[in-house]
Structure 1
Amino acid sequence: MSLRQLLVLGSALLLAACAPLKPQEKPAEKRYSAAELLALQPAQFTWPATSTEGERALREAALADIRARIALPPGPERDAALPRLFDLVAQYNAELDAARPLLLEALPTLGQRDAETQRALLTAAHTLYPAEAAPLIWPLLPQLTASKPFAIAAYTLLQTEPGAAERLHAIVPQQFPTWADDARLTALVLRLRPSAAAQPPLPALLAAPLRPGFPVIVSLQRPGRQQMGLALVRAADGRFVRDAANRLFTSPQLALARTGLPGTITNGNTPQGVFTVVGAGTATNPNIGPTPYLHSKLPVEAKVAEFEHAELADTAEWSEAVYDSFLPESWRAWAPIKEAWLAGRAGRDELLVHGTTINPAYYTGSSYFPGTPQQGCLISNEDWDPATGRLLASRQLALAQTYAAASLRPDLAGYLIVVELPGEGAVQPAEAQKLVDAAGR
């Protein structure tokens, strides 16, 4: 792909979600067998936007877009421009002060907007301006009749105001009498009244068979996702992958979304829990780039038969009991590990395991540096040649190839577990080694 072609694509897709484009919007993407994936080398991949020239051109285009949107006079055109404006501001960490008044001016009018506009602007409030937005959100709550915008508003209040949980706990059942039937509100209520129960032993989860004979990626993440996590690979024989010196394979991985919202919310963090893996492919999203992703799916997003990798009728129905069957008994009552189940019920999808073409320098000074958060996928860093845009090293490719070698399955079918590990700082290999040793794997 030439630089010119990439810039055209980038301008159209700069804010695409983690998913590849829909089939009607692009040619069929490349899919990989295990053998094809294992044969790849980093030097085979180039992405012009990762070169100094390409990145500068995309950033300048994005900044010009931001400033043009900020300069629009009040009216329908500016209103329509706001969702993309704040996505760009968050991605490039630019023009935050100039954009702030537009959001604060728009928030009181959200009661008259559609639910998608509410979602977008409340997400911006949560991501960029929570303290300033909070006083404007309380009077807005009764006007938010859709559960997604309401939940985003509630999470914003929770991160800024002590005592908000008690007030919100009284509001939810009054405003949404059937809240227990809504996955987003169920997750919110669990946040408002967290269980005092201790997390079950992690070694039991690491040793759980899920379904025998399938490989598993285990992504260990910190609560709050503000630190780099660590991915491990358990082979089809149930043993965790080690190198020739018997050192555990570990690879840094980020499960933080730019929004910082919970996993049941669009563009929120990667939810905790069990996913199925159904293959590998190359996305056309410019922020993901050409390195093959592993195609993970949530419950409900994948039908039961696909999730099970089994010859089942497509009419087999999902239930919490089906999801629980993938967990060891000691974990089945632990609500946080059900987040993936709730996220699937809430309609989240296309949360992939992928690399990144975003420059980590945008997030210098952050607690998760050199991670590059996007919209809820699991992201591994990659090193690109600033002169040529050629891939020099890829933790994503190394992870995908380790998984492929451990699978013994040409279709790459397997599973993914995302689970939080209490502690401070980036998850360390020594911590993972201790858990794997305790699991006897």
Structure 2
Amino acid sequence: MNLRPLLALLTLALAACAPLSPQHPPTEKRYTAAELRALQPSDFSWPATSEAGERALRSQALADIRSVLALPPGPARDAALPALFDRVAHHNAEIDAARPLLLAVLPTLGEREPEFQRALLTAAHTLYAAEAAPLLWPLLPQLTTSKPFAIAAATLLQAEPGAAARLADMVPRQFPAWADDARLTALMRRLAPAAAEAPPLPDLLAAPLRPGLPLIVSLQRPGRQQMGLALVRRADGRFVRDAAGDLFTSPQLALARTGLPGTLTNGNTPQGLFTIVGAGTATNPNIGPTPYLHSKLPIEATVAEFEHAAGADGAVWSEAVYDSFLPASWRHWLPIKEAWLAGRAGRDELLMHGTTVNPAYYAGTAYAPGTPQQGCLISSERWDPASGRLVASQHLTLAQAYATASARADLAGYLLVVELPGEGAVTVVEALGLVTAAGR
């Protein structure tokens, strides 16, 4: 089995959840609703999910990690650090061995390029928050662009519960125009006192958004460390149920491997409203061949794409346009506007998809068997260890439920990600109570 092409793709995929890379022409297959409904798990195979294929990929990744760890300090090692820490986090391997390299480079980040800062600060947040925190306070004044600063601030908030007041004082002094920057706006909202109680969630579940279009609702816990639950609302406004009348639900993970806020690159799936513009097959090897649902944030999608209406051609995005999709009771609830801020911050390609990542990498976590990646919404899949053929796919089941709920061949509709307070994985009982209260 020749896995070199897959190994090359794996290196590309570690940087984003993108379905296509700029180096590859857009040759992906796109699906109509009817084509999506007709698919079976047995239609798909992925050699790297076989026992032999996965072992080869992991062995190569570990060899690459160790080769970088063996490099002497200098430009060559520095250049390899972003990919090194992506592999360390993805494979949950050599975390202790890589720690000294991260801690050694952090004090030098003030003189580095912003993208290098972003990559290394993301590694600090993902893997070494407590150890990195003392090094970040003297570094913060040297971080002159908002993205690295916001990542460092998120790391300090994770490591030091008392950091909020100090950061809230620092942001306006270092960035006087912070209110014009979506990342810093999100950070300042996080630093503010806790928001009031959310409006009634049934109001949101019953809201028409735009009549005649289906909706996926992804109920998630704050912090995203538990498995969420996806529901599907049909084009007629009723939630999908099976032949016995039981509510359709499907487990779904909205946690990124970094655990960063949703306005930051490779952060968690932002809370709020997305549009769905179809389904396609990715080239990203961590997604695999099962068709993803193509969800887009505001601004990533034009207003016309969000409206799914030709009459909106040329319309310009504003917060008022985003608010127009929400019921009146939710328009002043700032957390539901994280998706709006994420779009303003330039996030994109946050898809709903399956996974070829081995769940064993995350065994023992609260979200197991989930496999976090770069901020997409991920549903579990089971692959045959002998052949690499798809055996079962929670994502395909969800995508087909959505396709069946649609009255349009192009799969146009919406995705709503909303957080539900509580402990543990979101339950069917909770979801049913909300749907019942919404009268849907």
TM-score by shorter chain over 0.5: yes
Match of 2:100 in 1: 101
2:435 is matched with 436
1:199 corresponds in structure 2 to: 198
One-letter amino acid of the counterpart of residue 108, structure 2: T
Structure 1 residue 157: deviation in Å?
0.5
Q: CA deviation digits over 1:37-83, x for unaligned, max 9? A: 01100001000110000000000000001001111111111111000
**2:310 partner SS:** coil
Q: Indicate the RMSD between aligned Cα atoms, in angstroms.
A: 1.1
Match of 2:295 in 1: 296
| Residue of structure 2 equivalent to 1:245 | 244
Does residue 141 (structure 1) correspond to residue 140 (structure 2)? The answer is: yes
Cα 1:11–1:350 change in 2 (3 A) is closer
Partner deviation per Cα, 1:215-271 (whole Å, 9 max, x = no partner): 000000000000000000000000000000000000000000000000000000000
> Match for 1:248: what amino acid?
L
**Distance apart, 1:365 and its partner CA:** 0.6
CA displacement at 1:14 relative to structure 2 = 4.5
Q: Does 1:113 align with 2:107?
A: no
Q: Distance in 1 between matches of 2:312 and 2:414?
A: 20
Q: How does 1:280-295 map to 2 (within 5 A)?
A: 280-295=279-294
**Distance across 1 between alignment mates of 2:203 and 2:94:** 47
Q: Check if 1:37 corresponds to 2:2.
A: no
Indicate the SS of the match to 1:188: helix
The list of structure 1 runs, each at least 4 consecutive aligned residues, that deviate by more than 2 angstroms after superposition, is: 2-14, 312-315
Which residue identity lines up with residue 19 of structure 1 in the other structure?
A: A
User: TM-score, normalising length from structure 1?
Assistant: 0.98
CA distance in 2: counterparts of 1:365 and 1:99, whole angstroms: 22
Deviation readout 1:315-342 (Å, 9 max, x if unpaired): 3110000000011111111110000000
Identity %: 78
Letter in 1 for 2:67: A
Instruction: Report the Cα offset of residue 166 of structure 1.
Output: 0.4
Supply the distance in 1 between the matched residues of 2:334 and 2:226 (Cα, whole angstroms): 22
The CA distance in 2 between the partners of 1:380 and 1:404, in whole Å, is 16
Bigger Cα displacement from structure 2, 200-209 vs 24-33: 24-33
Q: Report the equivalent of 2:157.
A: 158
Counterpart secondary structure, 1:203: helix
Q: Distance in 1 between matches of 2:37 and 2:383?
A: 20
- Quick check: 1:264 aligned with 2:266? no
For residues 314 and 24 of structure 1, the distance between their equivalents in structure 2, rounded to whole angstroms, comes to 30
Q: Please state whether the residue corresponding to 1:32 is helix, strand or coil.
A: coil
Inter-CA distance 20–143: structure 2 relative to 1 (3 Å threshold): same
- Give the partner amino acid of 2:28: E
**In structure 1, how many angstroms separate the alpha carbons of the residues matched to 2:70 and 2:25?**
33
Letter in 2 for 1:71: A
Other-structure match for 2:272: 273
Indicate the residue corresponding to 1:89 in structure 2.
88
Gaps of 5+ in 2: none
1:209 is aligned to 208
Structure 1 match to 2:353 = 354
Distance 1:411 1:178 in 2: 41
SS at match of 1:312: helix
Cα 1:297/1:369, change in 2 over 3 Å: same
In 2, the alpha carbon distance for the partners of 1:239 and 1:176 equals 46
Q: Which moved more, 1:19-28 or 1:366-375?
A: 19-28
Aligned to 1:57: 56
Aligned residue number for residue 185 of structure 1: 184
Mapped partners of 2:19, 2:398: distance in 1: 20
Task: Name the SS of the counterpart of 1:184 in structure 2.
Answer: helix
Residue 375 of structure 1 corresponds to which residue in structure 2? Answer: 374
Distance in 2 (CA, whole Å) between partners of 1:141 and 1:27 is: 40
Tell me which residue corresponds to 1:68.
Answer: 67
Q: Tell whether the 8 Å contact from 2:214 to 2:235 is kept in structure 1 after alignment.
A: yes
- Report the CA distance between 1:12 and its aligned residue: 4.0
**Size of the alignment, in residue pairs?**
440
TM-score normalised to structure 2 length = 0.98
1:118 Cα deviation (Å)?
0.5
Please state whether the residue corresponding to 2:3 is helix, strand or coil.
helix
**Does the residue aligned with 1:402 lie in a helix, a strand or coil?**
helix
- Residue in 2 that maps onto 1:344: 343
Amino acid at match of 2:92: N
Cα distance in 1 for partners of 2:193, 2:68 equals 41
Amino acid at match of 2:135: L
Question: Which deviations, in whole Å up to 9, do the C-alpha atoms of 1:133-174 show, x marking residues without a partner?
Answer: 000000000000000000000010001113200000000000
How far apart, in 2, do the equivalents of 1:146 and 1:7 lie? 35
Unmatched runs of 5 consecutive residues or more in structure 1: none
